[in-house]
A and B are shown apart, each in its own frame.
Chain A
Amino acid sequence: MEVKAEKNLKLNQDPDMIWKCMIDPSFMVKSVPGAELTEQLDERNFKGKISIKIGPVTAKFNGEAEFTKLEEADYELTMEGKGLDTSGKGGANMTMNIKLSTLEEGGTEMQSSMSLSITGRLAQFGARMIVAVNNKMFDQWATSFTELLNEQTSSKDSEEKSNNQPDNGNVAEPTPVKALPLAWAAIKGLFGSK
């Protein structure tokens, strides 16, 4: 099943700086909840892991991602990712489009859209819950992306760090995104508890 989300962010930084962060997978991966970069194949291709837990279902996806579009002149990028659950319980495909534009009052507007297509156990949870979880994850990503950018701006050291390749042989388990409370919020929503 496919779920879509769209989000516009206003960021303090100028587009050029944001662009550089966005096309750096080691920077981006930090902003994605539950995600981890395992290997950078070249400028456009990399491998990673993402771990999601919804109720009783934990899915750990091993995936590949590719920047299928990188147009620096327009600050427009498309990233396509696909992953399979490590123990064979499902798979996911994701496409993310981002476009940056300079704001007259300063800073940058980021227009982003994402479509996520999932199969297997997570999909069996039904559209409602997945939409809620996806929205929440997208929100979390936006928040942490903004925070990381702000950190980046205030600390010159981080630039150096982000160029380091992760150690493939000794990767700590990523902390899974805690979707159970989100799912519960979605269920409670059904019963009109507002």
Chain B
Amino acid sequence: MKELKTSAEVGGMGHSVKRKEDARFIRGKGNYTDDVVLPGMLHMDIVRSPYAYAKIKSINTDKAMAIPGVHAVITGEVLKGYNLHWMPTLMSDTQMVLPTDTVMYQAQEVAAVIADDRYIAADGVEAVEVEYEPMKAVVDPFKAMEKDAPILRTDKEGKTDNHIWHWETGDAEKTEQVFKNADVVVEEKVYLPRIHVCSIETCGCVASFDPAEGKLTVWMTTQAPHAIRTVFALVAGHVGLSEEKIRIISPDIGGGFGGKVPIYPGYVIAVAASVVIGKPVKWVEDRSENLQADSFARDYHMTVEMAASKEGKMEALRIKTIADHGYTDAAANPSKYPAGMFSICTGSYDIKTAFTEMDAYYTNKPPGGIAYRCSFRVTEAVHAIERIVDVLAKKLDRDPAELRFQNFIQPDEFPYKSALGWEYDSGDYPRALKLAMDKIGYEELRKEQLIKRSKGELMGIGICSFTEIVGAGPSKDFDILGIKMFDSCEVRIHPTGKAIARFGTKSQGQGHETTYAQILAEELGIPYTDIQIEEGDTDTAPYGLGTYASRSTPTAGAAAAKAAHKIREKSKKIAAHLLEVSEEDLEWEVGKFSVKGSPEQSKTIQEIAFAAYTNHPQGLEAGLEATHYYDPPNLTFPFGSYICVVDIDPKTYEIKIRRFIAIDDCGNIINPMIVEGQIHGGLTQGLAPALFEELIYDEDGNILNGSLMDYLVPTAVETPNWETDQTVTPSPHHPLGAKGVAESPTVGAPPAIANAVIDALSHLGVESMGIPITPFKVWQVLKDKGLAA
């Protein structure tokens, strides 16, 4: 652990201070979108398609309009009158706001009813009569790619197939060469099924258009309010909504996990309704709508191959992926990276040659492909590499830990240039795995496993040594719709030495109000309790791209440090003036400038702040403020090693996680308690797809588990006791040496658990199993081998 520079009272980096925002959350005083109530506010509910693919023959709104309290029924035809029936996605694809002729997935928005209250709106939805002509849906991407498959996106002129894009990186020829000459080649098919973020708060907004001012204010559940404002201005500029007249307020958010990055049709319809009707309109999804229609995550079909020497040296990696994007590519990746950061797939290993390619397809399923608590497809990449390493270990009859040690990038090889082009900033992979093995007692567990096997008991040990890539990103490569992925901080020090700081990011539960205050406390010596943090209001906060992909600490956190340094520079001038010495004679220690060699002569930051407004030097501007837009020079590469031990009931095939140890290295830690909380939550969200969660569709595109009765989100009952610890390898280029942590556990847990279950069955000849690994699947695989009744 890094030495603490500040006192507990100041509460800078490394202090486990309690979260400031929890004072209101635990009292039920948070202010979420659904808490916003405006005078004259109307409510919206949405008619959704029961079909995955159908022509709309007619929409009859008469009965709905006849219900007392219904103000309007908005259809695609209504929006078409304003040319608002289509919108762009963040990936420069196009998406219907409301359809005029065809529905493309089950639960797609078909019309919206605006009424006096939510109940009348729901009655109105029931009364809208839509006549459909169902068509044969294409649900499977492998069927979508067939030559005679129906072409789904007939709205796109000249489209002759369902292919969206091809992406590849690495050296195909050289990779093929290495594979040809390799001693050993292994292959594994890895499918990461569709899952959903299931944040506790669903999506929604309150759109309020003021006809007198021509100003639109939208409270909405968004992780990226500034980007949303710009997109709204670009999409609705033609109807008079220019950017200075749009204010997006992202109030308290009950979990985002990437699901609140995209712009959903509901937001746009509510805005259009408010503009047309001239009254505020509230829209809040119910739980099933959220699960059925909002952006999914994953849905990658990967074929992973590894070439190695017979001594176990990994020589080449090749991955071919089919990506199912649903009806439109509405992912939220940086523009130049349609497959996100998937090319981190060489992982923690020194693999000199690699090639990966991917093809994305349209299907009749909801759009998305968002990064669910993972920095743009890193979960998929890590699962691929961590599975194939275990497959190779099995093939060579090697211990999976030992094989990892043999192939790790070594600590002295950083900065390390990967075969697929990333420059890893820092790492010490052997140390993290060694610590995990020591803590869990790896050698003893292997011995125990041998004994258990001889008794017919099923026990498995799974390892995952992942490398993450977060903090997008350097502006030369990273943008969303052209907007560079910097982030920002604006700090104002008040005359009494207290402060307010505003950011372009937006916390959804991460604890920014505490951690950002701690960063400023560290750099300025002002107690964290004296620093107010504000985010999410585009009228007041500096521009930024928002919070997702573990980017807040790497970008906005760095911006806070840099803004603080600017404050310090000006403070130095004021201190020199007050102490009547030259600036060169001053030195900074936490919270004050003092004269070198004469420490009793000093001015605290509070005294300096007061002087900035009451006694500032001639020729220097009054006030004490700074703004910084931080453009990171590189991404950061958090890493870790997880070990999972499972026991499988030989009769019911229930999978019990006996122990799970997570060693994380996210560089220097701002608040250890918040980091631990993040890891606990992330591990549970990693447990979910490993053992429980999958959105299941039938051949007609019906979702078969569209409510939380059938879609299994783990609760405290299913969650094991997580054991956590850390190593600290600072990022050399981040001003605080920090890296970002929120997503590591979501990325690292699923392969650790999958590897453990497969390991428990490997002596029975089981080599592979797809997640979620349910007791039913275990039974099936053993039954196929004649080992179960």
Contact = CB atoms under 8 A, between A and B. Distances in A.
Given A91-B134, A123-B698, A124-B292, A85 B704 contact: no
Contacts of B709: 126
B774 interface: no
Nearest to A118: B702
26 contacts: A1-B698, A1-B700, A1-B702, A84-B132, A87-B128, A87-B129, A87-B130, A88-B50, A88-B129, A88-B130, A88-B131, A91-B134, A119-B50, A119-B51, A119-B701, A120-B50, A120-B106, A120-B702, A121-B50, A123-B698, A123-B700, A123-B704, A124-B288, A124-B292, A124-B704, A128-B710
B126 interface: yes
Interface string B120-131: 000000111111
B138 interface: no
A88 B108 CA distance: 13
B242 interface: no
A117 B130 CA distance: 21
Contact of A126 (B128, B134, B292, B704): B704
A174 interface: no
3 residue pairs, one from A and one from B, having the closest CB atoms: A120-B50, A88-B130, A123-B702
A89 interface: yes
Interface of B: 50-52, 106, 126-132, 134, 288, 292, 698-707, 709-710
Contacts of B292: 124
A124 B52 contact: no
B131 A1 contact: no
A90 B50 contact: yes
Contacts of B701: 119
A2 B701 CA distance: 12
A126 B700 CA distance: 13
Contacts of B129: 86-88
Contacts of A87: 126-130
B702 A124 contact: yes
Contacts of B126: 87
A128 B51 CA distance: 20
B253 to A, nearest CB: 27
A183 to B, nearest CB: 11
Contacts of B705: 126
A27 to B, nearest CB: 30
A127 interface: yes
Contact of A119 (B127, B131, B700): B700
Contacts of B131: 88
Nearest to B58: A88
B233 to A, nearest CB: 35
Given A119-B50, A119-B52, A88 B132 contact: yes
A85 B132 CA distance: 10
Contacts of A89: 50
Contacts of B288: 124
Interface string A97-109: 0000000000000
A89 B703 CA distance: 14
Given A2-B699, A87-B130, A124-B703, 8 more contacts: A1-B699, A88-B130, A118-B702, A120-B50, A120-B702, A123-B702, A124-B706, A126-B706
A128 to B, nearest CB: 8
Given A1-B700, A88-B129, A119 B706 contact: no
A127 B700 CA distance: 13
Nearest to A59: B50
B702 A91 contact: no
A127 B134 CA distance: 21
Contacts of B702: 1, 118-120, 123-124
Contacts of A119: 50-52, 106, 134, 700-702
A85 B50 contact: yes
Nearest to A121: B50
A9 B51 CA distance: 36
Interface in A18-37: none
B111 to A, nearest CB: 10
A55 to B, nearest CB: 10
A2 B698 CA distance: 8
Contacts of B106: 119-120, 124
B127 to A, nearest CB: 8
Contacts of A128: 710
B649 to A, nearest CB: 15
Nearest to A120: B50
A193 B673 CA distance: 42
Contacts of A90: 50-51
A72 B759 CA distance: 60
Contacts of B134: 84, 91, 119
B285 to A, nearest CB: 15
Nearest to B63: A87
A89 B106 CA distance: 11
Given A1-B698, A84-B132, A88-B132, A127 B50 contact: no
A128 B106 CA distance: 19
A130 to B, nearest CB: 9
B79 to A, nearest CB: 19
Contacts of B128: 87-88
Contacts of B707: 124, 126
Nearest to B711: A126
